[in-house]
């Protein structure tokens, strides 16, 4: 596993650097495999990346050979304001010429268990066989509590070793979600963390500054087995890590 860290001036710079990484990984995957598979996250941080890919850099990716998946989804309809799919659709998918069959959303509108099972079947269909899917790129964020995807601190879901996607009930949010499991995330060729804002500085310090790897901080458990992990942080998220990062 290779880990790299980069501190950038602001969220816009994070979005631009992330876009360049997505474009680079897409070209490598396209040339070596014929297609590019990427699993994206929800939340506010990746939205600027989506907007850039859907506008400024729209022509830099061959969308006909790009397959879009999600690392997790809230159990809401696809047109709900909290839907991770809707966020990506509005900012990116509606703006590029990607075939509908290349968009593999998680069905949050059906029961959590059924949604997870259907997503598992779709992943196995797309990647073939019964082994773990190997995404070319997984884009993740980090919550203030250290969660990533919908894997929350000290949750039983962190020990799931057989399933590809599972339903999870988030007690503090009193809501259901569907998420990819740790083995799948750690099987990716590249994992890209996007972290912005001063509110994330504390958890960034715990994970990156203190090197803590614990179920208390699920994001710390993202360690690609044979791939690489890249952390892009803005100055607000990384201000407690002065001297650690390259430009």
Asked if residue 27 is part of any domain, the answer here is yes
- The CA distance from 103 to 82, in Å, is 18
Q: Are 192 and 178 in contact (CB under 8 A)?
A: no
**207 falls within a domain:** yes
Residue 223 lies in a domain: no
Distance of alpha carbon 67 from alpha carbon 53, whole angstroms: 14
**Confidence at residue 44, expressed as pLDDT on a 0 to 100 scale:** 87
Residue 58 lies in a domain: yes
Q: Would you say residue 142 lies in a domain?
A: yes
Q: Tokens standing for 206?
A: 């715990």
pLDDT (tens place) for every residue of the chain, 247 residues total: 678 889 999 999 999 999 999 999 999 999 999 999 999 999 888 999 999 999 999 999 999 999 999 999 999 999 999 999 999 999 999 999 999 999 999 999 999 999 999 999 999 999 987 689 999 999 999 999 999 999 999 999 999 989 999 999 998 889 999 999 999 999 999 999 999 999 999 999 999 987 778 899 999 999 999 899 999 999 999 999 876 645 4
Residues forming a β-bridge with 190: 228
Tell whether 225 is covered by a domain: no
Query: Could you give the number of structural domains in the chain?
Result: 1
Distances (CA, A) of 79 to 51, 68, 108, 197, 227: 18, 18, 10, 27, 34
In a domain, 228, yes or no: no
CA count, 13 A, side-chain hemisphere, 6: 20
What six digits make up the tokens of 127? Answer: 């990647």
How far the first Cα of the chain sits from its last, in Å, is 21
Residue 134 belongs to domain with CATH number: 3.40.50.1360
Which residues form the domain of 58? 2-216+235-241
């Amino acid at each position: 596993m290779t880990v790299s860290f980069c501190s950038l001036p602001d969220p816009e710079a994070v979005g631009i650097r992330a876009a360049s990484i997505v474009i680079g990984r897409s070209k490598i995957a396209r040339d070596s495999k014929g297609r590019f598979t990427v699993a994206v996250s929800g939340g506010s941080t990746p939205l600027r990346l989506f907007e850039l890919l859907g506008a400024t850099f729209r022509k830099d990716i061959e969308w006909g050979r790009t397959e879009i998946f999600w690392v997790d989804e809230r159990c809401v309809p696809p047109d709900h304001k909290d839907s991770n799919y809707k966020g990506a659709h509005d900012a990116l998918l509606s703006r590029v010429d990607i075939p509908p069959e290349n968009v593999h959303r998680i069905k949050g509108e059906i029961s959590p268990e059924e949604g997870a099972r259907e997503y598992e079947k779709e992943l196995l269909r797309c990647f073939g066989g019964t082994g773990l899917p190997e995404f070319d790129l997984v884009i993740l964020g980090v919550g203030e509590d250290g969660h990533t995807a919908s894997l929350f601190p000290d949750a039983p879901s962190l020990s799931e070793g057989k399933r590809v996607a599972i339903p999870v009930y988030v007690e503090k949010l009193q809501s259901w979600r569907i998420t990819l499991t740790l083995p799948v995330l750690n099987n990716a060729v590249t994992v890209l963390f996007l972290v912005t804002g001063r509110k994330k500085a504390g958890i960034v310090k715990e994970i990156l500054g203190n090197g803590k790897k614990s179920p208390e901080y699920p994001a710390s458990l993202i360690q690609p087995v044979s791939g690489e992990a890249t952390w892009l942080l803005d100055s607000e998220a990384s201000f407690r890590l002065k001297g650690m990062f390259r430009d």
